[in-house]
Structure formats: C-alpha cells, structure tokens
Amino acid sequence: MPSVNTYSIKALVEPLVSISASPDRDVRYFLSEITGVPLAELFDQVQMSMAQYREFQAMCARRLRHEPVAYILGYSEFWGLRLQVNASVLIPRPETECLVEAVLQLHGDSSIRCLDLGTGSGAIALALATERSSWHVDALDRSQEAISCARENASRQETPVSNLSFYCYDWTSFSSGDRESRYHVLVANPPYIDPVSDAVCNETRLYEPDCALYAGLNGEADLIDLIDVGALLLLDAGWLYLEHGYDQGERVRYFMAKKGYQSITTMKDYAGHDRFTLGQWRIIR
C-alpha cells in the first residue's frame, strides 16, 4: 500500500498565483484529474500518494510555463461535450457557444445540410450534429492533425454521431459540386487576429496554433475569403455565420453587403461584445 499524504489545497495553489488568473480552479482541475475525486468533492485538503504528488508537480511546472490547462489535461468542455484537445487545435471558447446557440435557434428540425469551415477540434460541428439528428453536418479543416482530433472526438461520444462527415480541405478549394450538394447553413470561427496585435495572452501566443489564430489584412483575410466561399457553397437563401473579433463587426457587415448577402446582423457574445455576423445569400424571388 503506497503511503498517502494530506496536502492543503491553499498551499498547492500558491505557486500559480503569479501566472494564472484562476489558480485555484487550475489546481482543482489537476487534483481532480490525478486523484479521481470529483471537483465538487474537493474541499480544503486532498490526499495524494508520492506518485500522484509528482504528477501534480509536473502539471504545475507546465502551467508555470503558461501552458493552458486544457492542453495539460488533454481535454476541454464545449456545449456540454468533452473534447480532446492538443497543440494542433484551438481550445474551443465559451463565446463560440453563442454562435452555436444562434444557429440552433434560427434553424429547426427540418433536414438541412450544414458545413463547419475550419472545424479544429470539431467543437461547432459536434455541437450541431448532436443537437440536430435530422441535419447532415460536414466539417472541414486544412490541418490533417485537426481533422484526426475532430474525428476522434466524434467517435468518443456516448451516442454514436452518424450525421457528421469530416474532410481535410482548404476552404478556398472545397467545392460542393452540383447544386444539390450545396448547403443551407455555413458556419465558421476562422482565424481573425491581426498578426501584429499585442493583445494576445501568453497562453494563446505561446501554445495555440498560429494557423488557428492569425490572418493577414489586419486579421480580415480569412473572413473575406469565407464571405466569397459562402457565395459558392450556399444554396439560395442559405445562411453564413461568421465569428469574428469584438471590433470587426462593422467590417464584416460591409464585406457581406458588398458581396450581395442580405438580412445581415451582428450578434453579441455572453460578455456583451460583438462576436459573430450572419447574412443570407441571395434570395431568388
């Protein structure tokens, strides 16, 4: 029987205070992962064997180098789904759940075709596919590592997800072919950070993949590309949903209107920031 010691959680948190905005939460996630004690049952103290304590110290050492908790644990939560994440995919953000919520609210249970452009861990595609079994959801990413991660996430869901397909493609060369295979809904959270921005935190700047974060033309290049791609992939009266930076709404509305989209609206995230814009592709009357 390995010897077990009792540790004060407050003392374990102390080393992380200088680098983390949420040191107590970080430590509790690590402890829960290592000991198997649910978060809700971790109070002031925790018991660990020497091996477990060493594992905890290794996690804290990574965190002290600013590595995000999700990469250290190897998973993140999105829309109530547990998703594996690694250094080749963006850690799904809570604000992207607002985008998912809006798509679900605007489109009901009828059988539609939906495409997630730049799926990363598969977060948006999986949330939509699991909420709407009547939809067929396609998801693409140009990163093979991201597609492998997204596929793995789909295969790990408790209920098999049979209405979701993955494609390793660049969205500028993805063709829906004939008219019948165009989409009712396109959704994307593309890279939209200006590469010269100094507003990116250490966690993101040092660990998340550049190809998921930065876009040329002051962060607008991929948003503009996707507005063009939408015109090729959407059915008439289909909808494009684009996540963007809090200060990019006006420009996205401008580019969508210029291309010919209608009913263009920018919506806010849970923090009250402009976060995504939707527009409807040409309605033929």
Ligand X SMILES: C[S@@+](CC[C@H](N)C(=O)[O-])C[C@H]1O[C@@H](n2cnc3c(N)ncnc32)[C@H](O)[C@@H]1O
Task: Give me the residues that bind ligand X (CB under 6 A), please.
Answer: 89-90, 92, 96, 118-121, 123-124, 140-143, 146, 170-172, 189-191, 211-212, 222
As measured in angstroms, the least distance from the Cβ of 181 to ligand X is 18
* For ligand X, the closer CB: 56 or 255: 255
Buried-exposed string 98-128: b where 16+ CB fall within 10 A, e elsewhere: bbbebbeeebeeeebbbbbbbbbbbbbbbbb
* Structure-token pair, residue 11: 């003392």
As measured in angstroms, the least distance from the Cβ of 21 to ligand X is 20
* All residues at 6 or more sequence positions from 115 whose CB lies less than 8 Å from its CB, including other chains: 137, 138, 139, 140, 183, 185, 186, 187, 233
* Structure-token pair, residue 86: 């690694």
* Structure-token pair, residue 261: 């989209």
* Structure-token pair, residue 102: 């809006």
As measured in angstroms, the least distance from the Cβ of 147 to ligand X is 9
Q: How far apart are CA 59 and CA 63, in angstroms?
A: 6
* For ligand X, the closer CB: 118 or 279: 118
* For ligand X, the closer CB: 259 or 282: 259
As measured in angstroms, the least distance from the Cβ of 121 to ligand X is 6
As measured in angstroms, the least distance from the Cβ of 52 to ligand X is 31
As measured in angstroms, the least distance from the Cβ of 214 to ligand X is 10
Q: How far apart are CA 119 and CA 226, in angstroms?
A: 14
* For ligand X, the closer CB: 113 or 244: 244
As measured in angstroms, the least distance from the Cβ of 168 to ligand X is 9
Q: In a 3-state reduction of DSSP, which class is residue 136?
A: strand
As measured in angstroms, the least distance from the Cβ of 80 to ligand X is 15
CB 194 within 8 A of CB 171: no
Task: For 108, list phi and psi in degrees, rounded to 5.
Answer: -85, -140
211: part of which helix (H) or strand (E)? Answer: helix 210-213
* For ligand X, the closer CB: 124 or 234: 124
Give 218-247 as a DSSP string.
HHTHHHHHHHHHHHHHEEEEEEEEEE--TT
Q: How far apart are CA 160 and CA 283, in angstroms?
A: 36
* For ligand X, the closer CB: 102 or 123: 123
Q: How far apart are CA 60 and CA 72, in angstroms?
A: 9
* For ligand X, the closer CB: 79 or 281: 79
Q: How distant is the alpha carbon of residue 208 from its chain centre?
A: 12
* For ligand X, the closer CB: 138 or 141: 141
